[in-house]
Structure 1
Amino acid sequence: MPDFDIRRAGVDDRGTLFQLIADFYVIDGHHFDAERVAAGLEPLLQDDRRGQVWLGMRAGAAVGYTVTTWGWSLESGGLECLVDELYVSERGGGLGSALLRHAMSAAREAGAASVFLETEARNSAARRFYQRHGFGIEDSVWLSADL
């Protein structure tokens, strides 16, 4: 039996999430801009319209999180889910797998037909983790632009 729980994050979890997100950004090589993160996170903590945030708890402390967001695609037949971030501070105990499965189940219940994610090109360990959970590498290349 696992020694962790998964629960929905709410507005009272902002501070805890900010610390976990900042820790993840250091490891993943992203600049942590508190204003930008807050602008993206706040709507997700309010309701399900844009996505969901799940916390992984161990002994009453948050030690991981996952963020999923909704998109719409003709190729997916409508609603799709993006696993935007998944981070666990203590790896190897099964919490990352449990968070991913939980988020995917919640996305299915919300009506999503597909789940997508992206990893940094250098992060082959993350790709192996996701492939163990049924994700396949696609030929498409994501491009981005700030608006």
Structure 2
Amino acid sequence: MEINFKFADSSDTETLIQFIQEFYEYEGLKYDETIIRAALAGILKDGSLGRVWLIQQDNQAVGYIVLTFGYSLEYRGRDAMIDEFYIRETYRGQGVGKKTIQFIENVCQDLGIQAVHLEVERENQKAQNLYRQAGFTDKNRYFLTKWIIP
């Protein structure tokens, strides 16, 4: 089993849209394809916002990961957020997630990113276990959100 990561571009939009829809259904998130397409086009076009990769097993896409960029005094400069991370269910539990996290850590080091963050549902114990094994820690804070544009 060979895992590799394809840097996504606009030619991957339809594949990404399919994965994003599956991820939103799995997580119970509101899915509006028009809004998602616009946001996806933005990050695919402007590398200063972040990066998107297709996760491939034996050169077949099995998921995707989105890394977005930020800056934080607390985290000593440039930081990043794993904004979305999805692997199709039939490929979970086979080390794909662990290899993807390792890949992202290497990318962050190469880009001078000091810290990487992620968000996980409180009920998703499998994902929490993966992230904790990879060295992510709970900062004992709440991640709060306020929509500025509805």
The TM-score, its normalising length taken from structure 1, stands at: 0.92
Residue 103 (structure 1) aligns with: 104
**Aligned-residue RMSD, C-alpha:** 1.3
Q: CA deviation at 1:5?
A: 1.9
Deviations 1:12-67 (A, max 9, x none): 00000000111111111112111221222112212420111111113432111110
Alignment check: 8 A CA contact 1:70 1:80 kept: yes
Gaps of 5+ in 2: none
| Paired amino acid for 1:42 | A
Deviations 1:65-109 (A, max 9, x none): 110100111101111010111111121222211122112211221
The TM-score, its normalising length taken from structure 2, stands at: 0.91
Which runs of structure 2 are paired with 1:13-52 in the superposition (5 Å)? 13-52=12-51
Partners of 2:3 and 2:75 in 1: how far apart?
A: 33
User: Kindly, what percent of the aligned residue pairs are identical?
Assistant: 32
Q: How many residues align?
A: 146
Gaps of 5+ in 1: none
Alignment check: 8 A CA contact 2:3 2:99 kept: no
Alignment check: 8 A CA contact 2:10 2:44 kept: yes
Partners of 2:147 and 2:72 in 1: how far apart?
A: 21
Partners of 1:38 and 1:4 in 2: how far apart?
A: 26
Partners of 2:95 and 2:43 in 1: how far apart?
A: 25
